[in-house]
């Protein structure tokens, strides 16, 4: 493929189902699809935080929202039967590692059974031409070797979240091989690195924790300052997903399978380095301190993706550098803190990203 961007003519008027559309990634994706002219239906629980990007950017004004739990098989099936989407982008999930330790069964039922419900509904909807299931870079069996993972590496996970994402990968492949490949439906999984960006308010995530602390005049406490992650702006893997869908519709057999969407090795930074960069952008009295992680749930110290496959076959790579990623992220939060209208600012930031060099 020769193109490096998203094709507006492909999406204009196309029926798209986004699960998890009220979440951080789902809200940005739904906003982008609106701008592309797609007919978007969102299936999700109500936004889990207050504030939420979904509300601040008025994402719901341009799409049809269905509020239901993906663990409700009948509700999921009904949405696909009634909306008959051409594309399904499955993002709904319990997405927090620490929460998975507190609520393992909820994590398993949402991330595993919920994924099965979506794929089962797709199996009975002949309008669907492409499905992308968004999982995580944590689906790999991580031994903290520091080596970047490729798509054929073993799956695994010693915590409930990671193992649930590995299981979601296996379920997706089973549905592809057993049912959907014979119907010429493109089926893929997208494994993204650590994403940051404006509008994330999830608990136990670095940037949201930082903003909450600094708005309240407190210091940000770091649990694992030395942990290294492949940081990227949320729009990067979302562009990967949109590009992948276009490829799946054109050549489902060729492009079905697993895909890594992570930044170049140069964007890998420690948690401490990201926190310091964010504090610099925030300015004022933003401060960072080290906390004690005694008794905390264990997390891998090294995590890196090899996205050569996406670059070679989809011509995809990240556009924003590490510094620009942090600057754009913190600019969003500063504008929010200053009372700016966040739908207009979010759309402007999306336009700036689309206009940046590939």
Catalytic residues: 161
Cα separation, 233 vs 247, in Å, equals: 22
User: Are the CB atoms for 17 and 47 separated by under 8 Å?
Assistant: no
| Count of beta carbons in the 10 Å neighbourhood of residue 256 | 24
User: Are the CB atoms for 35 and 347 separated by under 8 Å?
Assistant: yes
- Nearest to 252, CA basis, from 160, 356, 128, 339: 128
Give 59's DSSP letter: G
| Environment class of 357 (CB within 10 Å of its CB; exposed 0-12, middle 13-18, buried 19+) | exposed
Q: How many helices (DSSP H) and strands (DSSP E) are in the chain?
A: 15, 13
Q: Which residues contact 99 (CB under 8 A, 6 or more apart)?
A: 107, 161, 203, 204
Cα separation, 85 vs 42, in Å, equals: 11
Q: Which residues contact 65 (CB under 8 A, 6 or more apart)?
A: 21, 22, 41, 42, 44
User: Are the CB atoms for 161 and 138 separated by under 8 Å?
Assistant: yes
**Strand ranges (DSSP E) for 7-61?**
15-19, 39-44
- Nearest to 282, CA basis, from 326, 325, 321: 326
Indicate the helix (H) or strand (E) that contains 132.
Answer: strand 130-134
Cα separation, 349 vs 224, in Å, equals: 30
Residue 199: phi, psi to the nearest 5? 95, 0
Cα separation, 69 vs 14, in Å, equals: 24
């Amino acid at each position: 493929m020769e193109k490096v961007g998203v094709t507006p003519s492909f999406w204009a008027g196309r029926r798209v189902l986004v699960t998890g559309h009220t979440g951080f990634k789902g809200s940005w994706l739904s906003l982008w699809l609106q701008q592309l002219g797609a007919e978007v239906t969102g299936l999700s629980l109500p936004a889990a935080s207050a504030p939420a990007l979904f509300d601040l950017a008025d994402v719901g004004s341009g799409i049809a929202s269905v509020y239901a739990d993906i663990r409700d098989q009948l509700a999921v099936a009904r949405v696909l039967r009634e909306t008959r989407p051409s594309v399904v982008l499955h993002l709904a999930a319990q997405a927090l590692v620490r929460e998975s330790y507190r609520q393992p069964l909820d994590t398993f039922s949402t991330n595993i059974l919920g994924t099965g419900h979506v794929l089962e509904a797709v199996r009975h909807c002949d309008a669907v031409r492409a499905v992308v299931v968004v999982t995580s870079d944590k689906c790999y069996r991580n031994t903290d070797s520091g080596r970047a993972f490729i798509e054929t590496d073993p799956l695994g996970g010693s915590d409930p979240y990671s193992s649930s994402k590995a299981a979601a990968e296996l379920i997706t492949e089973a549905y592809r091989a057993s049912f959907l490949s014979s119907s010429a439906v493109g089926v893929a999984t997208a494994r993204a690195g650590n994403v940051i960006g404006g509008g994330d308010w999830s608990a136990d995530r670095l940037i949201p924790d930082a903003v909450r602390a600094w708005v309240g005049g407190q210091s940000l406490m770091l649990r694992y300052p030395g942990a290294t992650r492949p940081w990227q702006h949320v729009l990067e893997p979302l562009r990967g997903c949109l590009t992948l869908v276009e490829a799946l519709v054109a050549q489902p057999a060729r492009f079905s399978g697993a895909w890594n969407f992570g930044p170049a090795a140069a964007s890998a930074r420690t948690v401490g380095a990201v926190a310091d960069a964010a504090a610099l952008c925030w300015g004022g009295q933003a401060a960072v301190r080290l906390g004690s992680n005694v008794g905390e749930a264990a997390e891998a110290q090294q995590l890196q993706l090899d996205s050569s496959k996406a670059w070679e076959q989809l011509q995809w790579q990240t556009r924003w550098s590490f510094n620009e990623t942090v600057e754009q992220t913190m600019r969003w939060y500063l504008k929010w803190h200053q009372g700016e209208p966040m739908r207009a600012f979010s759309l402007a930031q999306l336009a700036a990203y689309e206009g940046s060099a590939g």
